Amino acid sequence: MERLNKFLAHAGVGSRRHCDTLIASGRVRINGRVVTNLGTQVDPDKHKVAVDDSPVRTERQVYWVVHKPVGYLCTNHDPSQRPLALELIPHVEQRVYTVGRLDEASEGMLLMTNDGDLAHKLMHPRFQIEKTYLVLVAGKPSIADLERLREGVWLSDGKVKAKHVKRVKPQGDSTWLRVVLCEGKNREIRRMLAKLGHKVMRLRRIAIGPVLLDKLPKGKARKLSLPELESLKKLVSTAASRAKKGE
């Protein structure tokens, strides 16, 4: 037996949070009966599960690293038919989704998977998984500016802060920074730096946890290696235990 939202997430329906929403709204059935209890347990070998009357079957889990160029969207559909990061991976039967989105003007590393449980832990700020970025900003941020980023900056949706930030090198009148975040609010780095008077010129994510973008060419994708996957799962397992102890 396993929790229903975990079963749905592993089947590629979506993140566990999204699956909870589906359950609560009465869109999930077990053996033909609607269930809305978020604590429902399911036996994959005995129960027939459906979402919106479509049978849900477990599928092989897949994990991809993608180097997203500027101009690509991190969504599975765009009415304006702009290019999608999803189109950068070879055709797979599984329904994969993006872990850790980047806005259209940003580039760098994305993870794509149908492992909803892993995706949830990587994205949720409760688990404090590090995401590392290289950021080119206008001007020359002072030591005081960097300290403010570490201490936290107030934005419209609350206080946000960088776990680590340091200057890497100058580039003309601009400066490259290395920024590490453990949250993922919309356009967080751009908004933090704008608050300090420094416009972001380029933003590239180079790592999620222990997995590095490394030399993967822009616009290309590769499968996550087994050692990378094992290290990622070990990281989120440790993070989950730490979060539970802190409750």
Q: Is 52 a catalytic residue?
A: no
Contact (Cβ atoms closer than 8 angstroms) between residue 162 and residue 149: yes
Distance (Å, whole) CA 247 – CA 122: 18
- Provide the terminal-to-terminal Cα distance of the chain, rounded to the nearest Å: 25
| Pairwise CA distance, residues 109 & 26, whole Å | 36
Partnered with residue 178 across adjacent β-strands are 134, 166
149 within 8 A of 98, measured Cβ to Cβ? no
Q: Pick the catalytic residue: 45, 103, 173, 214? A: 103
- Alpha-carbon distance values, 223 to 61, 110, 217 (Å): 12, 12, 14
Among 159, 161, 168, CA closest to 189: 161
- Determine whether 133 is exposed, middle or buried from the number of CB atoms within 10 Å of its CB (0-12, 13-18, 19+): buried
**Interatomic CA distance for residues 67 and 36, integer angstroms:** 39
Q: Please, how many CA atoms are within 13 Å of residue 77, restricted to the half-sphere of its CB? A: 2
Question: Known catalytic residues?
Answer: 103
